[in-house]
Amino acid sequence: MHPEVTGMTGPTGMAGTRPALPDATNAAFLLEALREANARRDRHGVPPLAMDPLLVEYAKTRAAELSSRTGSGAVRAGTGEIAYRSEGDDMSQAAEAVASWYAQSAAYDHDDPRPCGFSQLIWKASKAMGAARVAGQGPSQHETYIVFVFEPPGNVEGTFQENVPRA
């Protein structure tokens, strides 16, 4: 697997459009996404997220847009987004995406915070999430796109100290 982790927008470095990859979101994926996200949030003493069916549908739209390369990069007002892309022989799982975003904590500077996937994942004020995955054969390899969306959004300027506590 060769993951590409992105923050508030979709994967970068892709030109042109193509048909969206098929939806690969299922109940097991959603349970894993919620479990993995909340396990990381628990390490920082922030409340667990609830899975919101409307946010799941929105995440499906965003994942399809990113895979077709038609995504504008702009997210719906009132939501935050983190995205993960991988290429390889197998479809990526939610745990891989969450681990990749959480790994950004190693470089996170609490004294000079910058928006990233880690900070959105942990963001204390976020209460609900949606998740989705699209996967299929790309031009040269199997590709997976995973999108998590959050309400209220994280990475709000001036509020990092109270929303991204240390572990």
- pLDDT, tens only, 4-52: 444 433 343 445 789 999 999 999 999 999 999 999 999 999 999 999 9
For residue 17, the model assigns a pLDDT of 85
Any idea which residue has 């991988």 for tokens?
86
Q: List the structure tokens of 97.
A: 């995406």
Let me know: does 120 contact 145? Beta carbons within 8 Å.
no
Nearest-CA neighbor of 52 among 147, 155, 127? 127
**pTM (2 d.p.):** 0.89
For residue 72, the model assigns a pLDDT of 63
For residue 15, the model assigns a pLDDT of 55
CATH topology of domain 4-10+23-163: Pathogenesis-related Protein p14a (3.40.33)
Give pLDDT tens digits for 76-112. Answer: 999 999 999 999 989 999 999 999 999 999 999 999 9
Any idea which residue has 């939806």 for tokens?
23
- Which runs of consecutive H residues, i.e. helices, occur in 69-109? 94-103
Give pLDDT tens digits for 131-166. Answer: 999 999 988 899 999 999 999 999 999 999 999 999
Residue 84 and residue 10: Cα distance in Å, rounded?
A: 8
Count CB-CB contacts under 10 A for residue 54. 11
For residue 10, the model assigns a pLDDT of 36
Per domain, the residue ranges of the chain are 4-10+23-163
